[in-house]
Every structure is written in structure tokens, then in C-alpha cells.
Chain A
Amino acid sequence: MDKAKKSEQDRKKGNAVLYIIGDSPLIEEYADFCSLRGYEVLCQLNSGKKAEKTKSYKQSNLIPAKTSLALELTNSDLSLKRKNMERLDKALPATSAILSTSITVTATEQSSWIQKKHRLVGFGALPGFLERPLVEVAPTVFSPPQTMEVVKTFFRSLGKELEIVQDRVGMVLPRILCQIINESVFALQEDVASPADIDTAMKLGVNYPLGPIEWADRIGFKNVYAVLSALENDMREDRYRVAPLLKQMAESGDWWKQTRTSS
């Protein structure tokens, strides 16, 4: 608490803005989390809609020049992600860094979308993990120590340590976790067991903190599908093919939510 307060004061002196762009609910998670830790947050939802109103952060389509760090949090719609990155690159001064989620497209590939490649660092973010004390970070070949220093300072101010991994599709945890979820949905589609029993089995049989299906509900099947199909496209191996039922769960969100709550 004391630490958080101190960093809050430090940042208020600086008057720097954190600009966040991406999909709900990840964007609200980050905006809330960062503004509670003293950042002046401006955010914009991909949908163009207003995020759940809270007092802690503002929304704006304009990217202010005093932005010191921008977060790009789009995981599913990559053409939209590219547009966001191009916009950020044009609007931000050369000294501002961009942290962009690099689970479904590598940071290296994203660096080919922008002019000032030195400002970009990739990281892993999916809904539901913000409270965790560690974050996966993937620099590109263009990321200089100065940019890494900004990134390190930012995550430490959120109480997170960094784990530097190679810049590959899926990174580490999203790849393992989404493949577990994929396997559980293959089992579901083969009628091996009910969703509730699959969750119970993994929690009580091997002490998983959440069952794979409830985990997917929390991350969002749309995001899980985005990670898995990115892996499938990147690897081009049968091992990474997405369970057809999982694709349906992702694409008919309301149907699955209703099925889930009525069962």
C-alpha cells in the first residue's frame, strides 16, 4: 500500500499520460488497475463504445502528445490492431514507448507495421491475469535498453516482475493454457464428460486453480480462439488445430453464455 502511494505521488508530479487502446474487458481491467496506481489514464475501446463508466479514468479518441507510454491490448482482430498501431506510431512523439500484446501476433511482426520500431515491446495480456505478480515480456530485435527500462519501470510500478521470453506466437502461459482448454473442448465435443465434470476433475484431480472451461469463460472464448488459431496458422501442424466446437463457442458467444448459465 505504501509503495503504491509513493509511486502515485511520483507519477502525479510527472503529469504523463498512459494511453490504452483495445478490447473490452481487458481495457477496463488495465485502465482501472493503472489509474488506481496513480497513472493518468486515457483509454479508447475498439468498439467505439463507452467503457463501463468509472471515475478513475477518461475516454478519448485523441491520442495526446504528452503520452509517455501507450498500451495496445487487441488480441483478436489483427487488422484493427494494425490500424491502432499505425495511429499510435504517427501520433506519439519518438520518445514514447508502445507496449503491445504479442500473443496472437509477434512483436517482431508488429514492428513491420510502424516507422519507429525502437519504441515497441511485446507482452502477454489476457483478461483475468492482471493481479498476478509476473508478466511475460517479449522484446524485438529493435528494442533498445532505454525502451526496456521504461517497460520495466512501468510493470514494477504495477507490482509485477518481468519474465523475458522469446518473441513467438502464443508466448508461454497463453499457449499452454489455451491448448489445455482446446483439449477439454475436444473432450466435450466427443461427449466424454459434461463441462462441469471436466472442471471438477481438473481442479480436484490435478489441483488446477480453475477448470479449463470456466477459465475459458473468464478469458473469453473469443480470445482463446484467437490464441489457438494464431498458433494453428503459425505452426501449420495438426497438433494445433482448433476444436470445431471451440470455434462455435467463440463465434456464438450468447448461445454459449446462455447454455452455461442454464446448466
Chain B
Amino acid sequence: MFKHLGVVGAGTMGAGIAQIAALTNTDVMLYDINETILRRALERIKTDLKNGVTKGKITAEQMTEAVTRIHPRTSLADLHSCEFVIEAVIEDLRVKKDLFQHLETNVKTSTILASNTSSLSVTAIASVLHKPERVVGMHFFNPAHIMKLVEVIAGRNTSQDTVQRTFELSRLLGKVPVLVKDTPGFIVNRVARPFYGEALRILGENVATHEQIDRIVKSVGGFPMGPFELMDLIGIDINLSVTQSMFDQYFGEPRYRPHPIQKQMVDSGMLGRKSGKGFYDYSNNKPE
């Protein structure tokens, strides 16, 4: 059904999506405006596939075949053969709208156009097209070639047929699709807000320390990571901006209000693992 899949944007997510598609016997047109990024993406995919062979997860033949199925392209016109295109470019509504307009003129009228947005409105992206019914959200989780979930987002004008075919593609890629109405944060980013927000409130109210909260959440709740470890891993700046975006998109709904502790940590440059210090100290590369 999907002989050719188009993937636009060869960053981490785009490359990950291309990799799983190629491994499930789909030919991928991997597009990026920047040739260097394309080359790096292919290198990353090859390295990851090689690791897969070393670990015995795939065979050497599967690796070779997957690599030949990924076709790097720098012209959108080369996506003409694709029945399905997934966009994974920067999270910027203007950039995405512009790209979707270009895509519309380059692909067949039956081609489904999916956006891997995590925070923008699928309805807004679709609004610039003549046929908004073929636009859908397809939110993969990082790392895309490992995480099983795909949130399939039906925008205001997305057709039933588009949703159904997006489900089919998701399953073809070995993913588990769930259907979501186009609302800020979709399911995961929205329902996960209190995991961080309440933990910050509890810390701010001095009910327990961040180490205690992490211990309780893991030991009593059975969560794989505590909220503060996870914020450190995600990046406190990234976590704050997701929260801020939810808060803004819901016009100041107090459940999504960011916490001053987050803001102060970002202001002080304590961003988590990537800066060497967040709620925990990573200067010895390990949380104490």
C-alpha cells in the first residue's frame, strides 16, 4: 500500500522514522534542504543499524537492504512518487505552513501529508492547503525507532480515510497508534504535565526534597524515573518551554502554569544533564 514514504527533515526524528520505515521494507525518500544534514543522518542510521547487527537484533542482510531503501533527496519534486509524506522539520508554524504549501504542489492529490509536530495545531498547519482533509498529525516519540507510540492527530478537517490510512502506516512501521483530537499537548504532553508541575509545587511548598520526591515516585509509584531526574534528562529549559506553551495555548489555565523554580534554574544556566548541573550534579557524570 505504501511503496514510497516521504520523510521531510533529516534531523533526529526524521532519520529515526526513515530508519524504521526502511527496516519494514518501505522505500524512503528522505528529504532535507541541507545536504550535510542528509549525509550525517545517513551516517547515523548506518551506525545504529550496525549496532543492531552487533547486538543480534537484525541481520547483516537486513542492514544492507535497509540502507539501500533510503534515498536521500534535496528536491521536493522527488517526493512525487510518495503515497505518504511525514514532515519532521523545526517546530515553527510559519516554516511548516510554508513547507506544506510546497508539498501540495509537488505530490499527488491522493498523498497523505502528516506532520510530526508535538506542540503545534494540526488544524492550523492544514489551513493553508486546498485539501486540508488529507493532513494529519503523526506524533512519534524520541527515539523514534525505539518508542512504540504514535499519536495520530485528527485536525478539524482531517478525513476519516486519512486517519485510517495513517493508522495502517503506523502499524506497518510496527508502531501502536492512538487517536487524538487536535488539542494542545495531545495526550502525552498534556497528561504528563502534573508529573512535573505537581512535583515542583511539592518541592516549592517544602513537603519533601527533590531527592525524596524522586525516590517516592519510583519506589512507591513504580515509575521508571522520578520527575526531577527526568527534567534533568529532558532539559529544564525544554520542559519549561513545553509547559509555557501549554499554559499559553490554554489561555492561562492554572493547571499548566510553570513554576518559578524552573524559571530560576533556566536563568542560572542549570539546565540538567546537558549543562552538567540541574536538580542533580552531573560533574562526575553521575547523579549523587
A residues adjacent to B (C-beta < 8 A): 124, 129, 132-136, 161, 163, 165-166, 168, 171-173, 175-177, 179-180, 182-184, 186-187, 190-194, 197-198, 200-202, 204-210, 212, 237-239
List 16 other contacts, CB 8 Å, given A168-B207, A182-B194, A193-B179.
A133-B219, A161-B219, A172-B212, A173-B221, A180-B191, A180-B198, A187-B187, A191-B181, A192-B186, A192-B187, A200-B149, A204-B148, A205-B187, A206-B188, A207-B224, A209-B222
Interfacial residues of chain B within 184-209, with CB under 8 A of chain A in the complex:
186-188, 190-195, 197-199, 202, 205-208
A205, B151: Cβ atoms closer than 8 Å:
yes
A205, B220: Cβ atoms closer than 8 Å:
no
A183, B180: Cβ atoms closer than 8 Å:
no
Which residues of A lie under 8 Å from residue B33 when comparing CB positions? none
A177, B221: Cβ atoms closer than 8 Å:
yes
A239, B257: Cβ atoms closer than 8 Å:
yes
The secondary-structure label for the interface of chain B is mixed
Which residues of A lie under 8 Å from residue B198 when comparing CB positions? 175-176, 179-180
A135, B220: Cβ atoms closer than 8 Å:
yes
B178, A197: Cβ atoms closer than 8 Å:
yes
A198/B207 contact (C-beta < 8 A), A124-B220, A134-B216, A177-B221 known: no
B188, A192: Cβ atoms closer than 8 Å:
no
Contact of A165 among B149, B176, B207, B255 (CB under 8 A): B207
What are 9 A-B contacts with C-beta separation under 8 Å?
Answer: A134-B220, A161-B219, A172-B207, A182-B194, A201-B151, A201-B180, A202-B187, A205-B141, A206-B195
Is B14 part of the binding interface, using a Cβ–Cβ cutoff of 8 Å? no
Contact of A201 among B187, B216, B219 (CB under 8 A): B187
Would you give the shortest CB distance from B155 to chain A, in whole angstroms?
13
Is B213 part of the binding interface, using a Cβ–Cβ cutoff of 8 Å? yes
Is B2 part of the binding interface, using a Cβ–Cβ cutoff of 8 Å? no
A204/B191 contact (C-beta < 8 A), A163-B216, A172-B207, A172-B216 known: no
A28–B81 Cα distance when bound, in Å, is 63
Contact of A206 among B178, B192, B255 (CB under 8 A): B192
Count chain B residues whose beta carbon lies closer than 8 angstroms to a beta carbon of A: 44
A202, B181: Cβ atoms closer than 8 Å:
no
A239, B202: Cβ atoms closer than 8 Å:
no
Which residues of B lie under 8 Å from residue A180 when comparing CB positions? 191-192, 194-195, 198
Which residues of A lie under 8 Å from residue B238 when comparing CB positions? none
Which residues of A lie under 8 Å from residue B221 when comparing CB positions? 132, 173, 176-177, 209
Would you give the shortest CB distance from B208 to chain A, in whole angstroms?
4
Q: Give the one of A134, A192, A201, A238 with max B CB within 10 A.
A: A201
A204, B220: Cβ atoms closer than 8 Å:
no
A11–B69 Cα distance when bound, in Å, is 68
A186–B183 Cα distance when bound, in Å, is 12
Would you give the shortest CB distance from B259 to chain A, in whole angstroms?
11
Is B99 part of the binding interface, using a Cβ–Cβ cutoff of 8 Å? no
Would you give the shortest CB distance from B238 to chain A, in whole angstroms?
14
A204, B179: Cβ atoms closer than 8 Å:
no
B222, A132: Cβ atoms closer than 8 Å:
yes
Which residues of A lie under 8 Å from residue B181 when comparing CB positions? 190-193
Is B266 part of the binding interface, using a Cβ–Cβ cutoff of 8 Å? no
Would you give the shortest CB distance from B128 to chain A, in whole angstroms?
24
A192–B191 Cα distance when bound, in Å, is 11
Which residues of A lie under 8 Å from residue B149 when comparing CB positions? 200-201, 204-205
- Chain A's closest residue to B192 (CB) is A206
